[in-house]
Structure 1
Amino acid sequence: MTARLEFSSYHFDGHDELCLITGAQHSQTILLIPPLFDEMNRMRRMLIDVMRLLAEREIGSMLPDLPGTNESLFPQELANLVIWREALAALSAGRKPPLKIASFRAGCLIDDFTDGASKWRFSPVKGQSVLRTMMRTRIASDKEAGRSTDMAQITAEARSGSVNLAGNSISSVLFSELEDAVPTPSEQVETVQLESSTRAADAKLPGSALWLRAEPDEDLLLSGAIADNLASWVLQ
Structure 2
Amino acid sequence: MNGKLEFSSYHFDEYDELCLISGSQHQIKILLVPPLFDEMNRMRRALVDAMHLLDECRIGSILPDLPGTNESLFPQGEANLTLWRSALNMCISQHTDCKSIASFRGGCLIDDFDCELPRWRFSPAKGRSMLRTMMRTRIASDKEAGNVTKMTDLQDQAISSNLNLAGNIIGPSMFAELDQAEPITLENTRVVRLESDSADADVKLAGSALWLRAEPDADQLISTAMANDLASWINS
Q: How does 1:121-140 map to 2 (within 5 A)?
A: 121-140=121-140
Which secondary structure does the structure 1 equivalent of 2:136 belong to? helix
Structure-2 separation of matches of 1:13 and 1:122: 29
Structure-1 separation of matches of 2:100 and 2:75: 29
- How much does 1:97 deviate? 5.8
Q: Which residue number corresponds to residue 7 of structure 1?
A: 7
Structure-2 separation of matches of 1:94 and 1:79: 21
Q: 1:48 to 1:235 in 2, by over 3 A?
A: same
Partner amino acid, structure 2, of 1:152: T
Q: Which residue number corresponds to residue 222 of structure 1?
A: 222
Is 1:194 aligned to residue 194 of structure 2? yes
Partner amino acid, structure 2, of 1:73: L
Structure-1 separation of matches of 2:98 and 2:91: 14
- How much does 1:107 deviate? 0.4
Partner amino acid, structure 2, of 1:235: N
- How much does 1:116 deviate? 1.6
Deviation string, structure 1 residues 115-137 (Cα, Å, up to 9, x no partner): 32101000001100010000000
Q: Which residue number corresponds to residue 172 of structure 1?
A: 172
Q: How does 1:76-225 map to 2 (within 5 A)?
A: 76-96=76-96, 99-225=99-225
Q: 1:172 to 1:43 in 2, by over 3 A?
A: same
Partner amino acid, structure 2, of 1:106: G
- How much does 1:96 deviate? 3.6
**Please, what TM-score do these two structures have when normalized by structure 1?**
0.98
- How much does 1:95 deviate? 3.6
Partner amino acid, structure 2, of 1:165: L
Structure-1 separation of matches of 2:55 and 2:114: 25
Deviation string, structure 1 residues 137-177 (Cα, Å, up to 9, x no partner): 00100100111111111100101211110011000000000
Partner amino acid, structure 2, of 1:65: D
Deviation string, structure 1 residues 36-94 (Cα, Å, up to 9, x no partner): 00000000011000101000000000000000000101110111111111111111114
Partner amino acid, structure 1, of 2:224: G
Q: Would you identify which runs of 4 or more consecutive aligned residues in structure 1 move more than 4 Å?
A: none
Which secondary structure does the structure 1 equivalent of 2:119 belong to? strand
Q: Which residue number corresponds to residue 61 of structure 1?
A: 61
Q: 1:72 to 1:98 in 2, by over 3 A?
A: closer
Which secondary structure does the structure 2 equivalent of 1:3 belong to? coil
Q: Which residue number corresponds to residue 231 of structure 1?
A: 231
Which secondary structure does the structure 1 equivalent of 2:164 belong to? strand
Structure-1 separation of matches of 2:127 and 2:76: 18
Which secondary structure does the structure 2 equivalent of 1:52 belong to? helix
Percentage of pairs with the same residue: 61
Unaligned runs of 5+ in 1: none
- How much does 1:216 deviate? 0.4
Q: Which residue number corresponds to residue 45 of structure 1?
A: 45
- How much does 1:114 deviate? 2.2
Partner amino acid, structure 1, of 2:162: S
Structure 2 contact 118–189 (Cα < 8 Å) conserved: yes
Partner amino acid, structure 2, of 1:205: L
